[in-house]
Amino acid sequence: MLKEILSVSGKPGLFKLVSKGKNIFIAESLIDQKRIPVYSRDKVVSLGDITVFSIDGDVRLSRIFQSIKQKENGEAISFPPTITADELRTYFSQVLPDFDRDRVYPSDIKKMMNWYNLLVNSGLTEFEEEEEEEEEEVEEYEDRVSEEEVPDLDENENKENENNKDNLIKEDK
């Protein structure tokens, strides 16, 4: 779901991808539902591609939003506009305890909190990763394949080797 939500540099808020063209996207604002053209020269980032630095490695934004959703019981985050950097770090440490305090700036935390509120207010609260769905599909496919009869490869290889030997013997004569 987050793959279709875009952040466009120079434009306020978030946008939902509506349509793709050759050199253009059509995106709908989550704030006022107005559609705008997004050209290839514009800097566009999908929320599904964003990760946050942590001590153990990068953490996907969807996981962070899921943690915020659990902490806030699915409601929007209430914080004053004049929240301090220390208060932001304290809040974010409750959501992601091992985030890298040197590389994740308070402005990044505030932006993520604003994005979360915008998504919740727009009714977009499913932050599950799509990769999990793909993994389930792969597992289902592997289960179906394992149930099918697979010929014994050793037997086929032996027949093929015998045929190759026969061909070599014929060529030598």
pTM: 0.71
Lowest mean pLDDT among 46-60, 63-77, 144-158: 144-158
CATH classification number, 50-121, choose in 1.10.10.1650, 1.10.10.10, 3.90.1720.10, 3.40.980.10: 1.10.10.1650
The pLDDT, as a whole number, for residue 145 is 44
Task: Please report the DSSP string for 71-133 in residue order.
Answer: HTTTSPP---TT--HHHHHHHHHHH-TTB-TTTS-HHHHHHHHHHHHHHHHTT------HHHH
Shortest CA distance to 105 belongs to which of 128, 88, 124? 88
The pLDDT, as a whole number, for residue 138 is 47
**Residue extents of the structural domains in the chain:** 2-46, 50-121
Shortest CA distance to 65 belongs to which of 136, 120, 122? 120
The pLDDT, as a whole number, for residue 94 is 94
Domain 2-46 listed as CATH 3.40.50.200: no
- pLDDT tens, residue by residue, 56-110: 899 999 999 999 999 998 899 998 889 999 999 999 999 999 999 999 999 999 9
CA distances from 41 to 6, 8, 10, 139 (A): 15, 11, 12, 40
- pLDDT tens, residue by residue, 98-141: 999 999 999 999 999 999 999 999 988 887 765 555 555 545 54
Confidence band, pLDDT 50/70/90 cuts, at residue 142: low
User: For residues 21 and 35, is the Cβ–Cβ distance under 8 A?
Assistant: no
User: For residues 74 and 87, is the Cβ–Cβ distance under 8 A?
Assistant: no
pLDDT beyond 50 at 161: yes
Lowest mean pLDDT among 44-53, 106-115, 157-166: 157-166
How far is Cα 20 from Cα 91, in angstroms, rounded to an integer?
37
Shortest CA distance to 14 belongs to which of 23, 3, 24, 22? 3
